Amino acid sequence: MKLFLDTADISEITDLNRTGMVDGITTNPSLIAKSGRNIIQTIEEICAIVSGPVSAEVTATDYDGMMQEGRKLANISSNVTVKLPLTEDGLRACASLSADDIMVNVTLCFSAAQALLAAKAGASFISPFVGRLDDICSDGMNLISEIAEIYANYDFSTEILVASVRSVQDVVDAAIIGADVATIPPKILSQMFKHPLTDKGLADFMTDWKTTGQSIL
C-alpha cells in the first residue's frame, strides 16, 4: 500500500519524506488556507521535494473553470495530480483531462455508485472519505470493500485512495481490504512507527548491552 501525506506544510513534508515512507501528497483548499501560502508556489515546492503524485485541487465548480484551473495546475510539474470534486461537471472534466494524459484524483466520494462513475471517467485515483462516513454512523471501510470489489470485477485501473483517515487502525483496515493508497495526516504516519513494546524492548536491549562493556565501533 502506498502512503500519501495529507498536508500542505512544507516542513512536515520535508521531515517525513526523509523516512522513505512518503509515496505522494494530497492537498485541498482547506489545507492551503491553513498554510497561509500561495497555492502555486506551495505545489511547486512540494513537487520539488516529493517525486510521487501531488494532488492539487481546483476551486472552480463549473466544467470550463475546472478545465482552465486543472491545466494550469498540471503545468506546474509532471507529478501534479489534478483534484476534482465528484460532481457531474467534475467527472466531465476528469474525462477530458484524463484523455490528455493528465492524472486526476476525484475527491469527496461517499458511495460505490460515485466511485463507479469516476472509474468510467478515467480517474487515476478515487478518494472515498471513510472518516466522514463514520462520523454519520455509516461504515467507511465497507465502502472501501464495495469499491474494491467493483473495480476488480471490471479491471478498472483507477486506484482506491482512502481519505479522511482518523487513526492507525484505519490504515491497517484499508490495507487488509486491499486499498491502493491511504492519505494520512503527518501525525498518523508518525504514530505508525510506534508501539510501547518496541520502546520497552529497545530499552531492555540497551540496558543489557551496557553490562557487556563492549562497543561495536
Positions marked catalytic: 83
Alpha-carbon distance of 128 to 118, in angstroms, equals: 11
CB crowding 189-198: b at 16 or more within 10 Å, else e: beeeeeeeee
Asked if 180 and 152 touch (Cβ cutoff 8 Å), the reply is no
Closest C-alpha among 75, 81, 33 to residue 57: 81
> Taken in order 81, 29, 93, 68, is the CA torsion positive or negative?
negative
DSSP at 129: B
Alpha-carbon distance of 54 to 57, in angstroms, equals: 10
Alpha-carbon distance of 44 to 100, in angstroms, equals: 21
Dig out the grid coordinates for 201 from the structure.
524492548
Element (H, E) at 55: strand 54-57
